[in-house]
Amino acid sequence: MHFASLEYALLFSLVFGAYWALGRAHLPRLVLLLAASYTFYAWWSAYYLLLIIASSAIDYLVGGRLHHSQEPRRRKAWLLVSLVGNLGLLGIFKYFNFFSASVGALLAHLGVTLTPPQIDVLLPVGISFYTFQSMSYTIDIYRRKLDPEQTPLPFVVFVAFFPQLVAGPIVRAKELLPQLACQPQLTARDATRGYLLIMIGLLKKAVIADLLAVNLVDRVFETPALYTSMEVLLGVYGYALQIYCDFSAYSDIAIGSALLLGLTLPKNFDHPYRASNLQDFWRRWHISLSSWLRDYLYIPLGGSAGSSWQTYRNLAITMLLGGLWHGAAWTFVVWGAMHGVMLGLTRAAQRSGVLALLRQHVSPRLWQLVGIAITFHFVCLTWIFFRSPDFAHAAGMLLILAEFTGGSANISPLVWSVLALGAMTHVIPDGVARLEEEGIHRLPAPLMGALLFATVTLVRYAASSEAVPFIYFQF
């Protein structure tokens, strides 16, 4: 059930109407959200719904035990139950075949013939997202930063909340559970912002991301040898815009849908291609994941509190695991490693004072523009490995780029227009977006409805005839 589908529109309309019709009936409202969330996920696979229920049950029970246990060793043992249970499910369904095949390939390289075992299962949609979300609950209770829920219903709603269940944002228990305990309210301002986010998300998905995927990115990455260096470069740029518009569109629709239910989800993107260095990029890209990795992995490893070597090690481990989180393939590991190495180099340059020295001889505006250009092109370089099916394919694209052949005969006017439109998502000043929101907020209800209808019509007209699922569904 995609956000851009009529099925989701119908489901959300029914939930929206019933949700607010329940008034102050707290328990029925939670039951409604849980039923809607399980229906939403069961649309993908009713069988894998059992995984969400299992993960919720483990962490709810462990959370209570952690809260009432005072002995440190026992508390660590209960936390280990949660980590092993959640990561065990994730490992079996997402990583077993990958590691098994990798061990088999290594043994074959050493001259040992062995057929590695494989599990014939499909990857459950969104398992990486709801696993991290559920784990935040037990970890925060272990750290004495959160009290456990007294009844299971709010907690299972938190884990399975349908707008962000499949592809985030990854919500912490301390962010959503207090909201579920309160009487929701929908202000006119929140309603306007919710509708606007949904409209923007639909437009970014259908008008930019999907059109770029079908008309440029998929073609270039499938057979790069048919294109010039310029066209391959445009294909890489196209993928950078596609993955941003695709993923941020999901987050926009999820946040907008939650707002219409009186709930606030955390911001997940902040114009990442405006970043002037890689640290800044990760403060703007997939914010809920980068902050999760920072708080639950990087800082527990020691963060930047130790020696320089320890800091670089912690960055490398965090980004390697961040890459593996995205997918069970060595290309994702290399993608994470490249980011880890560059983050380490950035930190080293900052600590050495080299960057501060260089900045004294360059105007602030020029420094920022050069930083943005370098950061964007490094991120694009890593996207090649992220998008390519294997290293040979990525190497082939890099070789074509190195040929420096010009010409863009295969780039249609439509593609040029969509590339420009995608770039505008980062060029338009933030103040313009706020003015647009204010202008829509002041519209009479009939005009607002007409605008929504026009947006949906445009999305239906612009939508590709091919179904293009959200990219992060595979993670």
Residue type, 453: F
> What is the rounded distance in angstroms from the CA atom of residue 367 to the CA atom of residue 361?
9
Active site includes 361?
A: no
Residue 181 main-chain phi, psi, to 5 deg: -85, -15
Do the beta carbons of residue 174 and residue 145 sit within 8 Å? yes
Q: In the chain, count of helices (H) and strands (E)?
A: 23, 0
> What is the rounded distance in angstroms from the CA atom of residue 62 to the CA atom of residue 54?
12
Do the beta carbons of residue 353 and residue 205 sit within 8 Å? no
What's the distance, CA 11 to chain centroid? 23
Tokens of 229: 């260096």
Q: Residue 473: CB partners within 8 Å, gap ≥ 6? A: 125, 126, 166, 167
The DSSP symbol for 91 reads I
> What is the rounded distance in angstroms from the CA atom of residue 154 to the CA atom of residue 161?
10
Do the beta carbons of residue 383 and residue 240 sit within 8 Å? yes
Q: Select from 267, 253, 265, 266 the least CA-distant residue to 9.
A: 253
Do the beta carbons of residue 440 and residue 192 sit within 8 Å? yes
Using the structure block, give the residue that is written with the tokens 């994730």: 90
Residue type, 160: A
What's the distance, CA 443 to chain centroid? 33
The DSSP symbol for 286 reads S
> What is the rounded distance in angstroms from the CA atom of residue 280 to the CA atom of residue 273?
10
Element (H, E) at 323: helix 308-326
Q: Residue 433: CB partners within 8 Å, gap ≥ 6? A: none
> What is the rounded distance in angstroms from the CA atom of residue 313 to the CA atom of residue 337?
11
Q: Which of 109, 271, 286, 326 is catalytic?
A: 326
Active site residues: 326
